[in-house]
């Protein structure tokens, strides 16, 4: 093959390659399966869409997953307490019954994500996109939802005890049976960055 043919093949294959997870990122996680001592993982800027997460195998508590692509990943029942997920793509991810207490989800994309019965207490969700997210029975106690987009989300039976919702949007949001909504904190804020 000549140089032009190789260049053409790379051009045609590049979009396909961008869709799958980065193998070196997946190899990092495979090696971590062998480690028994808890460490604070740095998986920032990684593509983990294809990785199969198993609760109890990898400790993601206080891990750095900022700017990572976890779109469509199944993280159900994982412990992500205190993790940094700022600017992470968690669109359409399954995060049911996940501990996200004190996690940083600033500017995270959680559109279409499933977060049923998850703990987001004291989490930072400022500027997060939660459009069409399923947040039934999720705990937002003392969470920061400043300028978050909760349009068309399902908040049925969610707990909003002392939650900051300044500038958050709730267009066509299901708010049936929300607990402790009378304790939310809402003040005028500028959401334009």
The model's pTM: 0.80
Residues 11-25 as b/e (b if ≥16 CB within 10 A, e otherwise) read eeeeeeeeeebbeeb
Which tens digits make up the pLDDT trace of 24-71?
A: 665 666 665 555 445 678 999 999 998 998 877 888 999 999 999 999
Above 50 in pLDDT, residue 4?
no
- Which of 87, 80, 34 minimizes the C-alpha distance to 59? 80
* Residue 58 vs residue 157, higher pLDDT: 157
CATH topology of domain 1-193: Pectate Lyase C-like (2.160.20)
The answer, yes or no, to whether residue 114 has pLDDT greater than 80, is yes
Contact of 104 with 83, CB cutoff 8 Å: yes
What is the arithmetic mean of pLDDT over 101-128?
A: 98
Q: Residue 125's pLDDT is what?
A: 98
Q: Which residue has the tokens 């909003």?
A: 160
Residue 146 sits at φ, ψ, to 5 deg, of -55, 125
1-10, 46-55, 104-113, 174-183: least confidently modelled range: 1-10
Whole-angstrom distance, CA of residue 176 vs CA of residue 14: 46
Find tokens 């977060």 and name the residue: 115
């Amino acid at each position: 093959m000549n140089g032009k043919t190789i260049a053409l093949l790379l051009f045609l294959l590049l979009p396909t390659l961008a869709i799958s997870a980065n193998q070196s990122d997946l190899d990092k996680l495979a090696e971590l399966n062998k480690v028994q001592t808890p460490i604070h993982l740095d998986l920032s800027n990684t593509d983990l869409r294809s990785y199969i997460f198993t609760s109890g195998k990898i400790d993601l508590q206080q891990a750095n997953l900022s700017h990572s692509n976890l779109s469509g990943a199944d993280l159900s029942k994982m412990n992500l307490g205190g993790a940094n997920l700022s600017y992470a793509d968690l669109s359409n991810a399954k995060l049911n019954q996940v501990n996200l207490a004190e996690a940083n989800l600033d500017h995270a994309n959680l559109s279409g994500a499933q977060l049923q019965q998850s703990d987001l207490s004291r989490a930072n969700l400022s500027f997060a996109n939660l459009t069409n997210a399923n947040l039934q029975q999720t705990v937002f106690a003392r969470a920061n939802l400043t300028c978050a987009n909760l349009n068309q989300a399902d908040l049925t039976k969610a707990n909003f005890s002392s939650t900051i919702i300044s500038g958050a949007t709730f267009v066509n949001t299901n708010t049936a049976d929300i607990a402790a909504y009378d304790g939310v904190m809402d003040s005028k804020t500028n959401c334009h960055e």
